[in-house]
């Protein structure tokens, strides 16, 4: 495919010998220097598809000649690490640039580096400080471009593109083509070629199931499912809809004896990197995440995905389950479906060619769940506003009592509140 011998040797040492579908489609036009839009499923090998051709055009000591823009710090670190591995024998210097840390070491690192991988906001900071010079950039890569648009980075991306030569090569990668991506295509790309791979995981590699559950039994069923997986060696990812929910879920799983860690955008940079490193190395076997880990990150060995809560965006389901069954391996995805998820789940099954089988609930043991929220109970209204947004009354949750405070969860009048503990 016209790959430099030094890079080919590095790929061989990494055990990479045959191109994936999207690599076979995207690499030839990128190697030829064409502008390319890559629409591909998660886990398809996109980093290698753009990284190897881009590295082949860069010469050490010629200034910043290639820039990769990615939406999150974790993805930036991952891409920079992969590019360093691909270019191990080329002596090229790759620098990762992201926010949340001191800018001074990055300023030093940018001096003499050949390839930069960064988040939009921090890259603009460097441009404003004149510590990043893109005048010699031969190629700009926008990875997870659709997500960057969703996160509101369109103006930063345009500033980055405007700071680079008009004759550069532009490669754009994502799962979908939005109106804002079309704007970038029309303004900043030259007759781009579009290459596509399937946007979902093939059914022969991924088994998908769901349980129809009540909100108050979700956690107990989750613990039951995890206990069944205890003797298996694969990694497990559990997706929650909110930052607070993922923290609470990881905390409660710890109390049940599981080695679980949470990751989301509210954690510090160091904590997020340490959690991801520990999960990849198997120090923790369960990762509880929000959408921050649903896209882009390459985590090998994930055998089970559990959707504890669904996102309002149907497409995120595809990115979540795409964390497993990667590169020809098999995996399993289970969704704990409550009444609040019905509409989203219906959209998922209508929009994407997936086969999801319903499983009947097995007998399970009730275990406690502590949300840790001081506002879990509302004394002014017959039942406290609970974790799922409904008012907890004795009638609804315990099968007896009333909104006046007759049941176990009743909070009416001046009665003493029950402890912040819920049976899930």
> Taking the CA of residue 187 as centre, how many other CA atoms within 13 Å lie in the half-sphere pointing to its CB?
13
Take residue 17 and report the two structure tokens written for it. Answer: 């010998």
Q: What is the pTM of this model?
A: 0.62
127 part of a folded domain = yes
pLDDT of 173 > 50? The answer is yes
Question: Partners of 391 in the beta sheet?
Answer: 385
Calpha distance 49→36 (Å, rounded): 11
Average pLDDT over residues 37-62: 87
Average pLDDT over residues 339-364: 88
Same domain, 280 and 346: yes
Same domain, 165 and 254: no
DSSP 233-256: -SEEEEE-SSHHHHHHHHHHHHHT
Same domain, 295 and 408: no
82 part of a folded domain = yes
pLDDT value of residue 186: 93
Cα–Cα separations (whole angstroms), residue 125 to 71, 97, 104, 217: 15, 10, 12, 47
pLDDT of 55 > 60? The answer is yes
pLDDT of 391 > 50? The answer is no
The DSSP code for 339 is G
75 part of a folded domain = yes
Confidence label for 153 from pLDDT (cuts 50, 70 and 90): very high
Average pLDDT over residues 151-179: 91
Q: How many helices (H) and strands (E) does the chain have?
A: 15, 18
Average pLDDT over residues 352-357: 84
In the sheet where 260-263 sits, what is the strand order?
A: 260-263, 286-289, 235-239, 302-307, 331-337, 206-212, 356-358
Percentage of the residues of the chain whose pLDDT score is greater than 70: 82
Question: Partners of 174 in the beta sheet?
Answer: 39
Same domain, 292 and 383: no
Run of H or E residues at 172: strand 169-174
Domain that holds residue 117: 5-196
Same domain, 225 and 353: yes
Which of these three, 148, 168, 196, is where a domain ends? 196
Backbone angles phi, psi at 358, to 5 degrees: -80, 135
201 part of a folded domain = no
Same domain, 46 and 118: yes
Same domain, 217 and 360: yes
Same domain, 145 and 17: yes
Which of these three, 328, 344, 368, is where a domain ends? 368
Instruction: Report pLDDT digits (tens) over 252-268.
Output: 999 999 999 998 878 87
Confidence label for 413 from pLDDT (cuts 50, 70 and 90): very low
Same domain, 324 and 216: yes
> Torsion over CA of 86, 301, 297 and 283, rounded to 10 degrees?
-100
SS3 of residue 260 by DSSP: strand
Lowest mean pLDDT among 102-106, 145-149, 178-182, 401-405: 401-405
Residue 318 belongs to a domain with what CATH number?
A: 3.40.50.300
Same domain, 364 and 276: yes
Average pLDDT over residues 260-278: 83
pLDDT value of residue 50: 95
389 part of a folded domain = yes
pLDDT of 380 > 80? The answer is no
Same domain, 330 and 218: yes
Closest C-alpha to 36, from 148, 139, 172: 172
The count of structural domains within the chain is 3
pLDDT, greater one: 337 or 330: 337
Confidence label for 422 from pLDDT (cuts 50, 70 and 90): very low
pLDDT of 396 > 50? The answer is no
pLDDT of 19 > 90? The answer is no
Same domain, 323 and 392: no
Which of these three, 349, 368, 387, is where a domain ends? 368
Confidence label for 135 from pLDDT (cuts 50, 70 and 90): very high
Take residue 355 and report the two structure tokens written for it. Answer: 């086969």
Calpha distance 276→286 (Å, rounded): 11
């Amino acid at each position: 495919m016209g790959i430099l011998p030094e890079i080919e040797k590095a790929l061989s040492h990494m055990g990479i010998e045959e191109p994936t579908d999207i690599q076979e489609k995207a690499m030839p036009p990128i190697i030829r220097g064409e502008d390319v839009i890559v629409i591909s499923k998660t886990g398809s090998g996109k980093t290698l598809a753009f990284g190897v051709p881009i590295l082949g055009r860069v010469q050490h000591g010629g200034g910043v000649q290639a820039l990769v823009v990615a939406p999150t710090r974790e993805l930036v670190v991952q891409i920079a690490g992969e590019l360093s591995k691909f270019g191990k024998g080329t002596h090229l210097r790759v620098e990762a640039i992201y926010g949340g840390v001191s800018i001074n070491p990055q300023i030093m690192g940018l001096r003499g580096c050949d390839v930069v991988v960064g988040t939009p906001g921090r890259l603009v900071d460097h441009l404003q400080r004149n510590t990043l010079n893109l005048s010699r950039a031969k190629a700009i890569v926008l990875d997870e471009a659709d997500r960057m648009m969703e996160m509101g980075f369109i103006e930063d991306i345009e500033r980055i593109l405007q700071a680079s030569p008009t004759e550069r090569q532009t490669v754009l990668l994502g799962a979908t083509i939005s109106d804002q991506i079309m704007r970038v295509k029309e303004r900043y790309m030259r007759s781009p070629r579009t290459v596509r791979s399937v946007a979902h995981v093939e059914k022969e590699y991924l088994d998908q199931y769901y349980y129809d559950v009540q909100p108050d039994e979700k956690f107990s069923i989750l613990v039951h499912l995890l206990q069944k997986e205890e003797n298996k060696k694969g990694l497990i990812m559990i997706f929650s809809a909110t930052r607070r929910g993922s923290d609470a879920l990881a905390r409660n799983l710890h109390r049940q004896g599981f080695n679980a860690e949470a990751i989301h955008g509210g954690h510090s940079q160091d904590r997020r990197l340490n959690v991801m490193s520990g999960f990849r190395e198997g120090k923790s076997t369960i990762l509880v995440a929000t959408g921050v880990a649903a896209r882009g990150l390459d985590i090998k060995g994930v055998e089970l995905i559990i959707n504890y809560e669904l996102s309002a965006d149907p497409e995120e389901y595809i990115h979540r389950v795409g964390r497993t069954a990667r590169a020809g391996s098999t995996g399993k995805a289970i969704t704990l479906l409550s009444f609040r998820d019905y509409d989203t789940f219906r959209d998922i099954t209508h929009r994407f060619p997936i086969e999801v089988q319903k499983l009947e609930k097995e007998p399970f043991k009730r275990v406690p769940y502590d949300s840790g929220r001081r506002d879990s109970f509302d004394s002014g209204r017959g039942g406290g506003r609970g974790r799922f947004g409904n008012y907890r009354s004795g009638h609804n949750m315990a099968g007896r009592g009333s909104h006046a405070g007759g049941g176990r969860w009743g909070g009416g009048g001046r009665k003493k509140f029950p402890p912040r503990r819920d049976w899930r």
